[in-house]
Amino acid sequence: MKEITSQNFSLIVPEGCQADCDFCVSKSLDDRISPERTEDLDLAKLARAIRFARDAGAIATSISGGGEPTLYMDPGGYVDRALPLLAEHFAKVDLYTNGYRMERVFDQWCITHVTISLPSFTRPELYTGRFNPLETVLSDVSRLVDSGRVVRLSLILCRESDGGSEERILTYLQRALELGVHGVIVREASRYTSNEEWYEQNYLEMAPMRDAVTSRAGFEAILEMPWGTRYFDYRGLRVAFYCAEERQHVGRHVRTLCYFPDQHLYGDFIRRSSIVI
């Protein structure tokens, strides 16, 4: 176990989200993220996991689901309690959110990076009953950019979102540029979603779409991670393409160490058997 190296430590928050997305992977996971464990955050165990990750080389942390992190940012909530410890050990703290309760985020200055799910610039109906209205999300994104944070948008590659075709992805990137964000992550839908019917109807394969999009003018390949994620520069925007079936570790290098609400550290978000400590 001491052989593991990783650059990132992820705090996985408990299950629970207002959005109920069809492509959500968390809903198909096991009791590692069950909501009844919310009050169980043991700061001593979290500190031990952070020490392990730091010894393994982690220099950044992300806070993601499980569920929607902003639901756990009230005073005394899961994320609120963990934040001081995370900020003490990591200069980069990246919050992954669907943009729901952003008022909980603006004053948390230890959050240096924010990654926001934004399925479409052009279809406000996709937001109805799930996310904040599109205009609210866009206004919050601008506010975060103006606050000096590093802001990225997260787009699921699927037929119903702006990831549904090459042209729609390019339009999305253009709108992201106009908004002033730093980057976009394009994600392939995972077969681990709990809604198999949705997956069958909406899945699009990442590699051909990525290759078609990035062969257009304006793209420059800048980085490929050991597990396959490719990064491109697009007119100053950093664009990452995450394939769902990418490996979670290569040799002894783990993509991210995940601390779950069951108070164990895992080397893989999906596989329960990947427990580290």
The residue ranges that bind ligand SF4 (CB under 6 A) are: 17, 19-21, 24, 26, 65, 67-68, 98, 117
CA distances from 47 to 67, 81, 85, 139, 264 (A): 22, 12, 7, 36, 12
Q: Give the residue with the Cβ less far from ligand SF4, 130 or 182.
A: 130
Contact 23, 190 (CB under 8 A): yes
To ligand SF4, the closest distance from the beta carbon of 209 in angstroms equals 20
Buried b (16+ CB within 10 A) or exposed e, 145-173: beeebbbbbbbbbbebbbbbeeebbbebb
Q: How far is the CB of 265 from ligand SF4 (least distance, A)?
A: 21
Distance CA 192, CA 268 (A): 13
Q: How far is the CB of 218 from ligand SF4 (least distance, A)?
A: 29
- Least distance (Å) from ligand SF4 to the CB of residue 86? 19
Nearer to ligand SF4, 6 or 193 (CB): 193
Q: Which is nearer to ligand SF4, 4 or 114 (CB)?
A: 114
CB of 185 to ligand SF4, least distance (A): 13
> Hey, what are 270's tokens?
């999906």
Comparison of 26 and 120: residue with beta carbon closer to ligand SF4:
26
Nearest residue (CB) to ligand SF4, 19 versus 276? 19
DSSP H or E stretch at residue 94:
strand 92-97
Secondary structure (3-state) at 142: helix
